[in-house]
Structure 1
């Protein structure tokens, strides 16, 4: 009985230490600096990302510049990097006119997987909101 109780106590301590380490690793993501290919989405952009935050904490920002001409500022909050891009002629409305589309990117800081949300509501009569998954893959 004493051996079982000792092993159980040791196992509980090991699990607690592992959970503590996992929590601190999740709380302190690595800086997002670098060059990333966007896999998924329509424009196939490569983005250069630069931030001065180390460690990364809520409210941290990063400059994002794409190879297709758009720029944005990403903000870190609750484990996600979020930024928005407006493309002036990003959507063709039902009446044939081109209108701006706002595209919101939300990226998980740990996995670099995210969701792109395109919103043409407001600029096109009967506009729509669409979502698609994407992945940031570090290329430099």
Structure 2
């Protein structure tokens, strides 16, 4: 009986240790701080990001500035950094007028990959919604 109790205790300790390692293996979400090259969407653009959240939790924000002229505030929600950019004259409508394009970015905090969704429907009759993948690569 003592052997059974010892094996049961050892199994319980091993399970607790495994849970402890599993919990520590799940890293806290990364703050989006530094300078990043953009691949996809605004290829060639560089984005500088600054967040003061530590640890990163839902609702955390970061200020973003790009080398192509836009600024935005990213908000962390459920493992992703999300932000929008509006390009005032981003599309030419069928009637020749210009209309703004709203671009929504969603970036996975762990991989720094995500999707860009551009929406011109609200400001240009017959506008379109497009979605493309992109990646941020830390360069500084």
TM-score, scaled to structure 1: 0.86
Q: Distance in 1 between matches of 2:72 and 2:108?
A: 17
Q: Are residues 1:124 and 2:127 paired?
A: no
Q: Are residues 1:81 and 2:54 paired?
A: no
Q: In the TM superposition, what is the alpha-carbon distance from 1:51 to its structure 2 partner?
A: 1.1
* Unpaired runs of at least 5, structure 1: none
Runs of 4+ aligned residues of structure 1 deviating over 4 Å after TM superposition are 1-11
Greater CA radius of gyration, 1 or 2? 2
Q: Distance in 1 between matches of 2:96 and 2:25?
A: 52
> Which one of the candidate residues 17, 28, 44 is aligned to 2:20?
17
TM-score, scaled to structure 2: 0.86
Q: Distance in 1 between matches of 2:96 and 2:7?
A: 75
Q: Distance in 2 between matches of 1:60 and 1:32?
A: 10
Q: Distance in 1 between matches of 2:25 and 2:92?
A: 46
* Unpaired runs of at least 5, structure 2: none
Q: Secondary structure at the match of 1:130?
A: strand
Q: In the TM superposition, what is the alpha-carbon distance from 1:55 to its structure 2 partner?
A: 1.2
What is the aligned partner in structure 2 of residue 53 from structure 1? 53
Alignment of 1:1-140 (within 5 A): 12-23=15-26, 25=27, 28-140=28-140
Q: Count matched residues.
A: 137
